[in-house]
């Protein structure tokens, strides 16, 4: 039986929950947001897009299949905290190497369990994502209130520069790659480049603050803009670079990359009340009229009314009608707000990678 300590989750509006420790002991903070997925917690925890965020899993029972060495999307856990109702004490799966609690402890992540996460999810849906603290040390409300007020807001915060790789890296699985993709890493997930590699591409990954001349000097067939954390409008260097890349090569963006492409095209973005996070997000493809169930993780969105006339909305989120995809045929650029690499999540949207390869092929012929 685990030796659990008392823990508290304190929110900036004064609401708090008393529960038990999960993972490491200590104190952590960040923006508290919820994820509606029943599975995929390891991919979620290691997604760089969750930097400086504490994740509430709305499904009550988490950890039943443990953790392993392959279902990770980066080299570490980027989420600053983990919040669940109940952890499975006896994970069962042939691939499992350790329990969720051990995985969090090894990575020194402070979490909390044994609280009503459904009530917490409803509270966030009603009042919006907000700053919070998890602590196993400090239970004084006045002290926690002061600490929460010192946590930086997610608006105006550039986190891509904190999670991006520091040096360029080239990946390739075959001797004669079909295409060369220049990927700008704003917080890139592993399975994105794995899919690009599986389709016969060489992938050259650039740090987020790389200049457009350096990127074009590698003579890529296409440019990929990755997912990542924080406020897209704060990534001024990335927007500036993409502006200068428009029309030079085919461009494909995912999540934060989608938002940065829209900003480079002249649109604006806004912070959502509580965002879209989960593996069950419904999206309509406006071109084919097909409905896709997608994996999403974002707290900002593109303002549809701000899009220039030459940019077409290709996908809409069916829960709130927000923009989930755009394209600009004039310059061979398109992007989606969701995660077609499906880590975690369904494979409904994998076809968008094929579209990127078709764009590169057409551009090469031209």
Catalytic center residues:
255, 339, 341
Nearest Cα to Cα of residue 230 among 169, 172, 166, 153: 153
Neighbour-count burial of 44, counting CB atoms closer than 10 A to its CB (0-12 exposed, 13-18 middle, 19+ buried): buried
For CA atoms 338, 341, 344, 348, give the dihedral sign: positive
What is the rounded CA–CA span in Å between residue 277 and residue 44? 10
Nearest Cα to Cα of residue 129 among 230, 322, 318, 271: 271
Nearest Cα to Cα of residue 314 among 340, 287, 339, 279: 287
The CB-based long-range contact list for 146-151 (8 Å cut-off, 24+ gap) reads: 147/29, 148/10, 148/11, 148/12, 148/29, 149/12, 151/12, 151/29, 151/30
Structure tokens at 66: 């443990």
Place of tokens 């926690």: 144
What torsion do the CA atoms of 151, 188, 85, 127 make, to the nearest 10 degrees? 50
How many helices and strands in the chain, by DSSP H and E?
10, 19
Determine contact, residues 116/21, Cβ cutoff 8 Å. Answer: no
What is the rounded CA–CA span in Å between residue 329 and residue 113? 48
């Amino acid at each position: 039986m685990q030796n659990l300590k008392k823990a508290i989750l304190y929110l900036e509006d004064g609401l708090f929950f008393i529960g038990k420790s999960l993972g490491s002991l200590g104190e952590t903070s960040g923006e508290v947001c919820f994820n509606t997925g029943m599975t995929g917690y390891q991919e979620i925890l290691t997604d760089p897009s969750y930097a400086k965020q504490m994740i509430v899993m709305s499904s009550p029972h988490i950890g039943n299949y443990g953790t392993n060495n392959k279902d990770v999307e980066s080299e570490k856990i980027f989420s600053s905290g983990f919040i669940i109702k109940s952890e499975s004490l006896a994970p069962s799966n042939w691939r499992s190497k350790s329990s969720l609690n051990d995985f969090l402890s090894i990575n020194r992540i402070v979490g909390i369990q044994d609280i009503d996460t459904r009530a917490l999810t409803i509270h966030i849906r009603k009042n919006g994502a907000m700053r919070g603290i998890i602590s196993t040390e400090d239970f004084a409300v006045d002290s926690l209130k002061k600490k929460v007020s010192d946590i930086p807001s997610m608006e105006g915060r550039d986190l891509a520069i904190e999670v991006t790789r520091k040096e360029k890296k080239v990946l390739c699985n075959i001797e004669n790659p079909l295409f060369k993709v220049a990927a700008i890493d704003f917080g890139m997930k592993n399975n994105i480049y794995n899919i690009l590699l599986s389709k016969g591409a060489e992938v050259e990954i650039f740090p987020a603050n790389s200049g457009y001349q350096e990127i074009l000097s590698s003579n890529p067939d296409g440019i990929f803009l990755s997912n990542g954390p924080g406020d897209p409008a704060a990534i001024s260097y990335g927007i500036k670079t993409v502006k200068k890349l428009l029309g030079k090569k085919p461009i494909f963006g995912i999540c934060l990359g989608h938002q940065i492409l829209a900003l480079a095209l002249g649109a604006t973005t806004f912070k959502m009340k509580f965002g879209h996070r989960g593996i069950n997000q419904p999206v309509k493809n406006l071109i084919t009229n097909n409905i896709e169930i997608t994996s999403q993780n974002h707290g900002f969105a593109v303002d549809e009314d701000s899009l220039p006339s030459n940019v077409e909305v290709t996908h809409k989120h069916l829960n709130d009608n927000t923009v989930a995809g755009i394209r600009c045929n004039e310059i061979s650029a398109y992007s989606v707000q969701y995660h077609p690499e499906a880590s975690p999540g369904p494979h409904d949207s994998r076809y968008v990678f094929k579209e990127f390869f078709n764009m590169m092929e057409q551009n090469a012929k031209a």
